[in-house]
Structure formats: C-alpha cells, structure tokens
Amino acid sequence: MRKPFALESYLQRSTLGVNRALDRLLPAATTRPATLHRAMRYSLFAGGKRLRPALLLAAARACGGKEACALPLACAVECIHTYSLVHDDLPAMDNDDLRRGKPTNHKVYGEAIAILAGDALLTQAFEMVAQAKAPLRYPHSELVMELARASGSLQLIAGQAADLEGEGKRLTLAQLRYIHERKTSALLCCAVRMGGMSANCTASQLRALTDFGRNVGLAFQVIDDILDVTQTSERLGKTAGKDVAAKKATYPSVVGLERSRRIAATLTAKAFAALRPFGDRADALAAFAHHLLERES
Ligand code: GRG
C-alpha cells in the first residue's frame, strides 16, 4: 500500500521556500522610502497561510515542473492576495482592525501608506512575473495576462465591488456565486494554472487544472461560509458568526445549511475528479485539496 502523502512537512518546506523568495525579490525594509517598504513587508510577513503559493507549487509538481521556475510566480500571486487584504481592511471597505491576528496595515502605518503599500504590492507582483523564466509554451505576455485577468475588474476586483454593493441586501444564489467565484476562486484557480504553466504543461493539463482550481476555489469559500455558522470562534481561531453579524449573504443564509453541504460535496468531488489524469504526480495537490476541503476549522 502507498504511504499517505506527508502534507505537513511539504507545506512547511514550500512556505519556507516562498518566504525566502519573497524576501529576496522585495526591496529591503531599509530601502527608501523605508516606511513604504516596511509596510509592504509588514503585511506580507504577517503569518498568512500561503495557500495560493502552495497550490501553485503543487500544481507545478503535478506537471513535472521545477520549483525554481514556479517560485517567482508563487510570490507574485501572494503579493496580489496580500494587496487585496490590505485594501479590503481599509476604513472605506471592511474597516477591520485586525488581520492575521495583528493590527491591520492602516492601523500601524496610517491609511495613506496602507493604500500605497497595497498599490506597490500589486505592482510588485507583475515585476516578479516579468523576472520569472518563461516556459516554452507560455511567454511572459501569457503569464502577465493570466495574473492581470484574475486580479482585474472582471474577477477579483469585480467580486469585491459586487460584495460591497450587495451588503445588507438579499442576494440570489447566482449573485452570491458570482461574488465567491471572483473574490475567492479566481485567484486560487489562477495560482493552480500558473503552477501548471511554470511547468510548461500541455493544453489538456491546463484544462484539467482549471477545472480543479475553479471547483476547489468555490468549495473553499462555501465551506468557509458553512464553518462560520457551525463552528465556535475558539475552533476557528477567528470570530465565528461574523458573516451573520455583518449581514453578509452566505451559502447557508441563501440556500440553507443542508443544501450548502451538498453543494460543497459536489464541488469537492468534481475537484478530485479533475486530478485523475495526473495520477500519482498530483499527490501534493490531492492531499492539499483534502486538507482545504475536509477541514473543520
Ligand atoms: C480589495 C480588490 C480587493 C479585493 C479584496 C481578499 C478580499 C478581496 C477580501 C477579503 C475577504 C475574503 C473572505 C475574501 C475571500 C478570499 C479569502 C478566502 C481570503 C482569505 O484568504 P486566506 O485564508 O488568508 O488564504 P491568509 O491570511 O492565510 O493569507
């Protein structure tokens, strides 16, 4: 019988590699203007789970790629994710005081620097893509397009805009799915696809990774919605019932808990089915999906 994949040590190693690469690719904290570079580093190294880089590296592995080719892209996706959190926490958006258990960027550096640190992280991401080695099938223009589309006004930013506009309103399932697909799934799927691209994957591998990424991304958010109502704050390590308190539409509030669970199960099954063509090479990706989708906190 095959040994179960050692996910914990794999994630520890990938996080270490990503942290080192981020440190190398970012301007030093002392580089002028030092406040700005300190603010960028403050949020990037605030203890994020590095889910998107781990997905990207695992997708590269599934396609037989080298970690060194995937790392700059993994860093770029994490910079986009961190910028989106810094801006999401601003008083004009979610107005949060805490993120990753620490004071939010604007609480430490002030609103103006937090806006600029977000802007700089967003820009930095594209510099990192430009510095990466382009695989034969995917020139830099394609890699840039991939990241720009996932983070632009039709995906990540569209999700955020629709989420802000939908606050306090009764949303339909289709409207909620639109938000979740863009706010959460788009960047997760982009990470998986860029992992494949860094490994010079074939068109059919890229289609399978897209299928996996979309389903994992949406399932991840539906499960987050479910856990918000079923788990205690202690178990979650963050405030439970936050969505209900903020009058945010969630899968359980729109379709009920039972149907939400069925939807999450269907998405999860589709995600695992998409990995079949990769066989054993998708060991890390499958173990990671299992960890994300079968979690209880
Ligand atoms: C400001 C353009 C713009 C977008 C903001 C990221 C975001 C969109 C909003 C934050 C709220 C939220 C729940 C978004 C869904 C995406 C998500 C699950 C974010 C949290 O990701 P984790 O758990 O966070 O990977 P860490 O801190 O571990 O990196």
Q: How many Å lie between the centroid of ligand 1 and the Cα of residue 83?
A: 10
Q: Is residue 73 within 8 Å of 143, Cβ to Cβ?
A: yes
Q: Is residue 160 within 8 Å of 88, Cβ to Cβ?
A: yes
Q: How many Å lie between the centroid of ligand 1 and the Cα of residue 138?
A: 28
Q: How many Å lie between the centroid of ligand 1 and the Cα of residue 85?
A: 6
CA distance 44 to 42: 6
- Ligand 1 atom nearest to CA at 221: 18
Burial environment of residue 29 by CB neighbours within 10 A (0 to 12, 13 to 18, 19 or more): middle
Does the reported pTM lie above 0.85?
A: yes
Amino acid at 41: R
Q: How many Å lie between the centroid of ligand 1 and the Cα of residue 280?
A: 31
Query: Whose C-alpha lies nearest to ligand 1, atom 2?
Result: 157
Q: How many Å lie between the centroid of ligand 1 and the Cα of residue 281?
A: 29
- Ligand 1 atom nearest to CA at 78: 29
Distances (CA, A) of 233 to 96, 103, 126, 224, 258: 17, 18, 37, 13, 21
- Ligand 1 atom nearest to CA at 100: 27
CA distance 132 to 135: 9
**Ligand 1 in contact with 160 (CB < 6 A)?**
yes
CA distance 294 to 271: 13
Both structure tokens of 53: 């880089």
- 68's enclosing H/E stretch is helix 67-88
Q: What DSSP assignment string belongs to 73-102? A: HHHHHHHHHHHHHHHHTSTTTT--SEETTE
Tell me the domains of the chain and their CATH numbers. 7-294 (1.10.600.10)
How do the pLDDT tens digits run along the chain, 297 residues long? 677 899 999 999 999 999 999 999 999 999 999 999 999 999 999 999 999 999 999 999 999 999 999 999 999 999 999 999 999 999 999 999 999 889 999 999 999 999 999 999 999 999 999 999 999 999 999 999 999 999 999 999 999 999 999 999 999 999 999 999 999 999 999 999 999 999 999 999 999 999 999 999 999 999 999 999 998 766 666 666 777 777 789 999 999 999 999 999 999 999 999 999 999 999 999 999 999 888 877
Distances (CA, A) of 261 to 100, 112, 224, 234: 27, 41, 11, 22
**Ligand 1 in contact with 183 (CB < 6 A)?**
yes
